[in-house]
Amino acid sequence: MSVDLSFGKKNRIKKITKSMFAWGKTKVCDGVVVFQKESINKNPAILVLIPKAVIRSAVERNRTRRVVKEIFRKNISREFGVDFLVKFSGCPASFDSKLEEFFKNV
């Protein structure tokens, strides 16, 4: 039986709530904070929050979201379920390598 390594609907969080900001908080680098919590189900899931004030261009915001989701897909452990909220308050140039290191160690 093969392991599904795709980023499907089961790996997405649809709605953001205020209670998500009370989860465990980790500062990955300047401008990027990751909130995490054990999930009820066994699927790891992610939500990426990039305000328009941080990255003005919609094209760049969507590209950044895709990069974060791809890093998550490649590096997350699929053995246990953890929900993540990745919040950008700035856009550092080398966030991808630090975020990749974070997801490898989780």
Tokens of 48: 């990426």
Among left, alpha and beta (phi > 0; psi -120 to 50; other), residue 62 is alpha
Which DSSP category does 23 fall into?
S
* H or E stretch covering 32: strand 32-38
**Could you report the per-residue pLDDT of 45-59, keeping only the tens digit for each?**
999 999 999 999 999
Distance of alpha carbon 24 from the chain centroid = 13
Cα distance between residue 106 and residue 39, in whole Å: 14
Tokens of 84: 């993540």
Q: Which domains does the chain have, with CATH numbers?
A: 9-105 (3.30.230.10)
Percent pLDDT > 70 in the chain is 95
Reported pTM: 0.86
**Could you report the per-residue pLDDT of 18-67, keeping only the tens digit for each?**
999 999 999 998 999 999 999 887 888 999 999 999 999 999 999 999 99
